[in-house]
Homo-oligomer: A and B are copies of this chain.
Amino acid sequence: MAGSIYGKHFAISTWGESHGKGVGVVIDGCPAGLPLCEADIQEYLNRRKPGQSQFTTSRTEGDKAEILSGVFEGRTTGTPISILVANTSQRSQDYSEIASYYRPGHADYTFDMKYGFRDYRGGGRSSGRETIGRVAAGAVAAKILKELGITVCAYTRSIGPVEIDEKQFDMEEIQKNSFYMPDKEAAEKAGEYTGQCMEEKDSVGGVVECIVDGMPTGVGEPCFEKLDANLAKAVLSIGAVKGFEIGSGFAAAKARGKQNNDPFVNHGNGIEKESNHAGGTLGGISDGSRIVLRAAVKPTSSIAAQQHTVNQKGENIEISVKGRHDPVIVPRAVVVVEAMTALTIVDALMEGMSARMDFIEKIWGR
């Protein structure tokens, strides 16, 4: 499929580059009757905004979401919702130099090879601003989920070697520190660590974790449209992500069956699981327990340190990447992981509605 459309039912079409007139998204297939306003979207976009930490970009961006269609008298009409965010703070001259060479770890080289040329300004379509469309659409998806009693929450689990302590897990803490870590102490250590990186003109990666509560059972379509398969694709589609796991993930590869299986039990409230190594899905279908997934984010490729590379003429050169960039992008990825998770679940819920004759009869029967 054309690459910038995500979803079959709740289908989003993102557009826009770092240095065009704006960025945005068109949401097609949003169900009618959902209360929606610009504030709902702005809340999510604000969580993308840099400037809340000494480690994030100094480029000020007042990304303001504008709904151009699809909402009438405060509710979605079922028609496409077009959301626009104008680009405000741009400096093209920053990038004329990098037009001529390929930055290591960036998509400059592959875009050039794929298309024959590229919009070199600020990363073009592969820049972080591409995530605005995803996040705006994710905000709408999250609203749908909320109406169904489903909540999606992402946070930073680790920055480099600094991990959260699950015993000190505090949901409230997430929005209080610039790393979006649910552990105040860990956030402080992360701050020290990233400060160190910056002095060394280096960058660091980390892991974003996302939990989903309130899932009904039965969501996901074997064999190829399994819920976890679609979550994996959604997460890997985020720039800088190099790995995905659900439940015990790679730890399961080292585990034993007795320990990794989640026994079923009934304490009088219906069937539950005693543990959740599965991470919320069995056979690719939601089992009603919490979905837990993780995204591995690589260290920011743009670093101030000198690097070796090649220019478009094929000459070996040394470069030092100027312009604005973050030494740690993990906190910026948090809301994107949350958005992609919400989008995937909404799409899966919609697909699953036609899985049974009694469901179909509930909607269309006489």
Chain B contacts for A82, CB-based, 8 A: 15-16, 24
Chain B contacts for A225, CB-based, 8 A: 1-3, 237
Q: Once bound together, how far apart are the Cα atoms of A232 and B235, in whole Å?
A: 9
Q: Once bound together, how far apart are the Cα atoms of A314 and B225, in whole Å?
A: 29
Asked if A356 is an interface residue, CB under 8 A from chain B, the answer is yes
Q: Once bound together, how far apart are the Cα atoms of A102 and B147, in whole Å?
A: 31
Q: Once bound together, how far apart are the Cα atoms of A286 and B111, in whole Å?
A: 10
Out of B15, B125, B252, name the residue touching A298 (CB < 8 Å). Answer: B252
How many chain A residues touch B (Cβ–Cβ < 8 Å)?
A: 170
Asked if A366 is an interface residue, CB under 8 A from chain B, the answer is yes
Asked if A148 is an interface residue, CB under 8 A from chain B, the answer is yes
Q: Once bound together, how far apart are the Cα atoms of A265 and B22, in whole Å?
A: 35
Chain B contacts for A323, CB-based, 8 A: none
Asked if A166 is an interface residue, CB under 8 A from chain B, the answer is no
Q: When the two chains form their complex, are residues A109 and B264 in contact, meaning their CB atoms are under 8 A apart?
A: yes
Asked if A8 is an interface residue, CB under 8 A from chain B, the answer is yes
Mask: chain A, 93-104; 1 = CB below 8 Å from B; 0 = not = 000000000101
Mask: chain A, 1-30; 1 = CB below 8 Å from B; 0 = not = 111111111110111110011111010110
> Which residues of chain A from 65 to 114 have a CB within 8 Å of any chain B CB?
66, 68-70, 72, 75, 77-82, 84, 102, 104-107, 109-111, 113-114
Mask: chain A, 239-272; 1 = CB below 8 Å from B; 0 = not = 1001111111110111111101111111000110
Out of B111, B203, B245, name the residue touching A285 (CB < 8 Å). Answer: B111
Q: Once bound together, how far apart are the Cα atoms of A231 and B233, in whole Å?
A: 8
Asked if A53 is an interface residue, CB under 8 A from chain B, the answer is no
> Which residues of chain A from 269 to 304 have a CB within 8 Å of any chain B CB?
270-271, 274, 277-279, 281-288, 296-301, 303
Q: When the two chains form their complex, are residues A261 and B301 in contact, meaning their CB atoms are under 8 A apart?
A: yes
Measured CB to CB, the closest approach of chain B to A220, in angstroms, equals 8
Q: Nearest B residue to A270 by beta-carbon distance?
A: B314
Chain B contacts for A23, CB-based, 8 A: 69
Asked if A60 is an interface residue, CB under 8 A from chain B, the answer is no
Measured CB to CB, the closest approach of chain B to A79, in angstroms, equals 4
Q: Once bound together, how far apart are the Cα atoms of A361 and B362, in whole Å?
A: 11
Out of B24, B219, B222, B359, name the residue touching A4 (CB < 8 Å). Answer: B222
